[in-house]
Structure 1
């Protein structure tokens, strides 16, 4: 597959784009027919994709609401933001605390086109940075124009790290978390290796060796929490994590292909 038609590169309505495909899988409307057609083929071969996308979105909303209401967080750095669906990070956070400041980071022009037009509450700030978040120094320097990095920040790395080899991903996250002060949070989720996921990944790699999204083991996801304290129940399937008081995890949650954690810097 050439670069001109590779999912994730295309901007126009005739070329599928991975951010728009994920948006469609989450029930969003910021996508084209070409994205829906490819997503339908993928979901036909592996129906868990839609469930994983919806669980990722629900986890994001629970995390954001929790750290604002229970952790007192008023600053977010959302790496690899994707196209927001539902309220997005800013919508959920500013509904709970209108003064919250959010910085989205992405280098996909499709994402930037959508996120750059977002408007948050009058009391808060929503900013989008066009950066490859591997450039940690530049991202943090730009983010510091909006966020006070000497105060707690919630760092979100959701369904993003599969673009990088596992060792590189963990090291990348640690470079950010080293800069976070005590009381800051890190939320991570990603797709774990299962027979079905690996079969789909094999086809993806054959079609696009450089752009394929790579699943990982639970241990590789947990490795991203170096130096932090995992909050109960620790690493696990998303339906079991950050549940509101009085809500119990659904049965069969361990079948979820999206795993993650919420951690805090001591």
Structure 2
């Protein structure tokens, strides 16, 4: 085993907490957002309840699969911008989801081979796929933490993070399609603020968030159907999404429909076809 492979093995062990770790029980009887998202993206890691809720949501929003793909495409554009233009060399991706094409480390390391990425998710199935996330080609590093956005201090203090990222240097914080899973009473703004406060000047934050601004009835239906399946989906307005950026300097074009944020090629004919707000901001 090479020194590099050994380092990656150690980071996986740290992320688990101890070497004889057993994966937590995976409850496939209820849907999970990461698995449902994987279903919409055409992946293979989902179960009947995930597909059932995904199909119910698709009845309310027939374009939901396209929306999921657009959200994923935006992630790639944002990461490429941070790596190419903003000089970001390390990323913290919270709400990773099940590995699929165009993962953060793949995009970043294609631009800057020695980029370092820490992934965070609370789905045991994502944890089971952590080794796929841990594979870096070249000098870059990746690590995975099984943790929850609701405990930002624990994420920031985790050995897998402190052993991979240097929080004295700028970080690209990825919060893509994750904040919708926190109810207002769980203080999502406070959780994000704790992360933003811990990052140094020059860091960037990337956020996407579903909204009912364009079709309130459809999003109310989605939120209600999710709640019936014990899943939280909270759509938020543009103004509410802007508050998550905490006064950081928004990059042009600001908080905009996800399809309209610096699109590759021609601007979309209908940027409101995906019900997500998106933005990228820099810490002064």
Q: Does the pair score TM above 0.5? A: yes
Gaps spanning 5+ residues in structure 2: where?
A: 1-23
1:190 aligns with 2:212: no
1:229 aligns with 2:245: no
Deviation (angstroms), 1:45 = 3.5
In structure 2, how many angstroms separate the alpha carbons of the residues matched to 1:242 and 1:254?
Answer: 14
| Residue number in structure 1 paired with 2:125 | 110
Deviation (angstroms), 1:14 = 6.1
Change (3 A) 1:170 1:242: farther
Name the count of aligned residue pairs.
254
In structure 2, how many angstroms separate the alpha carbons of the residues matched to 1:36 and 1:205?
Answer: 16
Would the aligned equivalents of 2:151 and 2:191 in 1 still touch at CA under 8 Å? no
In structure 1, which of residues 216, 220, 238 is the aligned counterpart of residue 258 of structure 2? 238
Would the aligned equivalents of 2:80 and 2:108 in 1 still touch at CA under 8 Å? yes
In structure 2, which of residues 80, 97, 101 is the aligned counterpart of residue 65 of structure 1? 80
Deviation (angstroms), 1:15 = 5.3
SS of the equivalent of 1:104 reads strand
1:205 aligns with 2:227: yes
Residues 137-156 of structure 1: pairs in structure 2 closer than 5 A: 137-142=153-158, 143-156=161-174
In structure 1, how many angstroms separate the alpha carbons of the residues matched to 2:263 and 2:270?
Answer: 16
Deviation (angstroms), 1:11 = 2.9
TM-score by length of structure 2 reads 0.83
1:252 aligns with 2:270: yes
| Residue number in structure 2 paired with 1:179 | 198
Change (3 A) 1:133 1:37: closer
Backbone CA RMSD of aligned residues: 2.1
Would the aligned equivalents of 1:237 and 1:260 in 2 still touch at CA under 8 Å? yes
SS of the equivalent of 2:244 reads helix
TM-score by length of structure 1 reads 0.88
In structure 1, how many angstroms separate the alpha carbons of the residues matched to 2:227 and 2:32?
Answer: 16
Q: For structure 1, which segment, 28-37 or 49-58, has the greater mean C-alpha deviation from structure 2 after superposition?
A: 28-37
Change (3 A) 1:207 1:107: closer
| Residue number in structure 2 paired with 1:264 | 282
Gaps spanning 5+ residues in structure 1: where?
A: 1-8
| Residue number in structure 2 paired with 1:89 | 104
Superposed CA offset, 1:140-160 (max 9, x none): 122122100100100000100
| Residue number in structure 1 paired with 2:6 | none
In structure 1, which of residues 150, 154, 163 is the aligned counterpart of residue 181 of structure 2? 163
Change (3 A) 1:176 1:111: same
Q: For structure 1, which segment, 19-28 or 41-50, has the greater mean C-alpha deviation from structure 2 after superposition?
A: 41-50
